[in-house]
Structure 1
Amino acid sequence: MQIQVFADKHIGGGAIAQEATDIIASILDRFADHLTRVEAHITDVNGHKGGSEDKKCTLEARPKGQPPVATTHRAATAEDAYTGAADSMAHLLDSRFGRLHHAKGGESIRHLVAD
């Protein structure tokens, strides 16, 4: 799984990109065999003005053989934004890959033993 981090000029450079890569990789590590690439776009919504939910991270994951999926999270800090987006992505991928391995509807009551 390849992870690419893009940050705008108000967020910072390489230090935040490396930290974001490490945290996103640790959260999404269990899906590494199912994903080809993950892109994180971290932006400062208001620029230099500031605000309570000023930072935004949009995370796009590309599962093998399936269409891409994306999540977005806004927070007061860039770290909270990309951590929140990665947590949301993990939840989405749990749901997506969990459905692939379970039959629709589960077991039928016809197979239960009557007392």
Structure 2
Amino acid sequence: MQVQVNTDNDTNGSAALVERVQEKVEGQLGRFAQHLTRVEVHINDVNAEKGGTDKRCMIEARPSNAKPMAVTHEADTVKQALLGALQKASRQLDSALGKRMDRKGAESIRAHDPG
């Protein structure tokens, strides 16, 4: 699973931030690694210095053999926005990929294309 981190011009996309984001993504979504080819994280400053909810995190997960899934979360800080988006992504992937797995964790027969 490749993790790509993108920021806008108003967000400091330092190497330390990128590393922390990658660690959080791998920690939260790592259990889906065998089903994901890439996870893109986009961090934006929504309204610059105007106040209010300031940061947005959009996570796009790309499962193999399925359509990409995207979630967005807005919060006051980058950390809160990232954690909220990761929780949403985890729930969405659980739902989508859980249908491909049976209760014991093996591939479901419905996940394979017989043709």
TM-score by length of structure 2 reads 0.83
1:31 counterpart residue number: 32
Return the structure number with greater relative CO, CA threshold 8 A, min gap 6.
1
Total equivalences in the alignment: 102
5+ unaligned residues in a row in structure 2: which ranges?
Answer: 103-115
Measure how far apart 1:24 and its partner are.
1.1
Partner AA of 1:33 in structure 2: Q
The root-mean-square deviation of aligned C-alpha atoms, in Å, is 1.4
| CA radius of gyration, larger in | 1
1:5-63 per-position Cα deviation (integer Å, ceiling 9, x unaligned): 00112221222222111111110010000000000000000012232x21000100000
Measure how far apart 1:77 and its partner are.
0.3
Q: Contact conserved, 1:57 with 1:85, CA < 8 A, in 2?
A: yes
Q: Contact conserved, 1:57 with 1:73, CA < 8 A, in 2?
A: yes
Partners of 2:25 and 2:33 in 1: how far apart?
A: 11
2:79 counterpart residue number: 79
Partner AA of 1:101 in structure 2: M
- State how 1:53-92 maps to structure 2 within 5 Å: 53-92=53-92
TM-score by length of structure 1 reads 0.83
What fraction of aligned residue pairs are identical, expressed as a percent?
A: 45
Partners of 1:78 and 1:101 in 2: how far apart?
A: 33
Moved more, 76-85 or 8-17: 8-17
Partner AA of 1:2 in structure 2: Q
5+ unaligned residues in a row in structure 1: which ranges?
Answer: 103-115
Partners of 1:93 and 1:47 in 2: how far apart?
A: 31
Q: Secondary structure at the match of 1:33?
A: helix
Q: Secondary structure at the match of 2:3?
A: strand
Q: Secondary structure at the match of 1:30?
A: helix
